[in-house]
Structure 1
Amino acid sequence: MLTYSLEPIFSYHLQLDPPEILGPVPDGFRANAYVKSGTITGEKLHGILRSGGGDWFTIRPDGVAITDVRGTIETQDGALIYLTYTGVMDLGEDGYQNFLNGHFPPTAKIHTTPRLQTAHPTYQWLNRVQCVGVAVLDFATFEGDFEVYALR
């Protein structure tokens, strides 16, 4: 068996706008959620998640949402870091039908695979890292708490 470890890189709290509902499409139920604001904290990374990014997600008929996220982190020292990830958000077996009817679950767990890219010399190490993330999204407030780890 291979040996690996998880190294905490950063956590973030974000506030989303309510989802923009596109509705049923050939791949499932499509909705977009845009970032209002976010705060990045961690031993190796501090800053904000800039507004304008978002999650362009599709809910499959089995109630699993496939996330497609892009955004920009601005560190406290002014570096810009591109954040992108896909992931799985389990909305429950009735998640698809509930979204069709305009009903959201109270919360949802999300598992992600973030990648980061930057030109800033201080953060070049991020270009070589594959991360994994875990999160909980609160649909009542459209706020989420995320933890991101480097896979070592």
Structure 2
Amino acid sequence: MTVLSPVPGLEAAFDVEVRVGAPADYGVTRAGHRRVVPILGGKISGELVAEILEGGADWQRIRPDGGCEIDARYSARTEDGDLLYLHAEGLRIPSPQAAEALARGDQPGPDQFYFRTTVSIETSTPRWAHLERSLFIASGLRDADTVRYTAYRVS
């Protein structure tokens, strides 16, 4: 008899709202079309309550199909002063209709994008060490100056 591995589940863990600045467009480099979006601050709520600190960034690669490879790294401080390092990697891919809207200079709706990331957390604080032993998957939304996502713990 073959023993099957358990099917993972998802449990909502925390919500993130990140304020972002204007992207710096580096053009096409040896790694592809590179853009860097500064992180200006924000907040985390839910299981984890913290302030996102200014100074992080999202080092993006823009794909030929208009999609964006996300590599965001930023810090947060809890209400008790504990520091956390968050790393979100993923994809934001426009639907064909969204790509056409963007080409016209219009802002497509959030339902016209596939926006998913993995989120990992580092901390030296024992109280939050359980976050280092979990994998989080997030579903995101991008507004003009804000990125919002809900992180789900994978069981």
TM normalised by structure 2 equals 0.83
Q: Distance in 2 between matches of 1:13 and 1:98?
A: 25
8 Å CA contact 1:83–1:114 kept in 2: the answer is: yes
Provide, for residues 109-130 of structure 1, a one-character-per-residue CA deviation record: whole Å limited to 9, x for no partner: 4200111111101101011011
Question: Once the 2 structures are TM-superposed, how far is the Cα of residue 2 of structure 1 from its aligned partner?
Answer: 3.5
Q: Is 1:130 aligned to residue 135 of structure 2?
A: yes
Q: Is 1:118 aligned to residue 123 of structure 2?
A: yes
Q: Aligned ranges for residues 71-150 of structure 1 at < 5 Å?
A: 71-93=74-96, 107=110, 108-138=113-143, 141-150=144-153
8 Å CA contact 1:79–1:120 kept in 2: the answer is: yes
Residue 20 of structure 2 corresponds to which residue in structure 1?
A: 16
Residue 35 of structure 2 corresponds to which residue in structure 1?
A: 31
Q: Distance in 2 between matches of 1:90 and 1:41?
A: 26
Question: Once the 2 structures are TM-superposed, how far is the Cα of residue 73 of structure 1 from its aligned partner?
Answer: 1.5
Question: Once the 2 structures are TM-superposed, how far is the Cα of residue 64 of structure 1 from its aligned partner?
Answer: 1.4
Q: Distance in 2 between matches of 1:58 and 1:106?
A: 22
**Aligned-residue CA RMSD in angstroms?**
2.6
TM normalised by structure 1 equals 0.85
For 1:117, the aligned partner's letter is E
Larger Rg, first or second structure (1 or 2): 2
Residues 115 and 150 of structure 1: is their aligned pair in 2 closer, same or farther, counting only changes over 3 Å? same
Residues 103 and 24 of structure 1: is their aligned pair in 2 closer, same or farther, counting only changes over 3 Å? farther
Question: Once the 2 structures are TM-superposed, how far is the Cα of residue 46 of structure 1 from its aligned partner?
Answer: 0.3
- Displaced runs of 4 or more, over 6 A: 94-104
Q: Distance in 2 between matches of 1:27 and 1:95?
A: 25
Residues 24 and 17 of structure 1: is their aligned pair in 2 closer, same or farther, counting only changes over 3 Å? same
For 2:29, the aligned partner's letter is V
Question: Once the 2 structures are TM-superposed, how far is the Cα of residue 20 of structure 1 from its aligned partner?
Answer: 0.7
Question: Once the 2 structures are TM-superposed, how far is the Cα of residue 94 of structure 1 from its aligned partner?
Answer: 9.1
Question: Once the 2 structures are TM-superposed, how far is the Cα of residue 105 of structure 1 from its aligned partner?
Answer: 5.5
Report the secondary structure of 1:85's partner residue: strand
For structure 1, which runs of at least 5 residues remain unmatched after alignment? none
Question: Once the 2 structures are TM-superposed, how far is the Cα of residue 104 of structure 1 from its aligned partner?
Answer: 7.0
Question: Once the 2 structures are TM-superposed, how far is the Cα of residue 91 of structure 1 from its aligned partner?
Answer: 3.4
Identity in percent: 26
Residue 45 of structure 1 corresponds to which residue in structure 2?
A: 48
Q: Distance in 2 between matches of 1:121 and 1:100?
A: 48
Report the secondary structure of 2:130's partner residue: helix
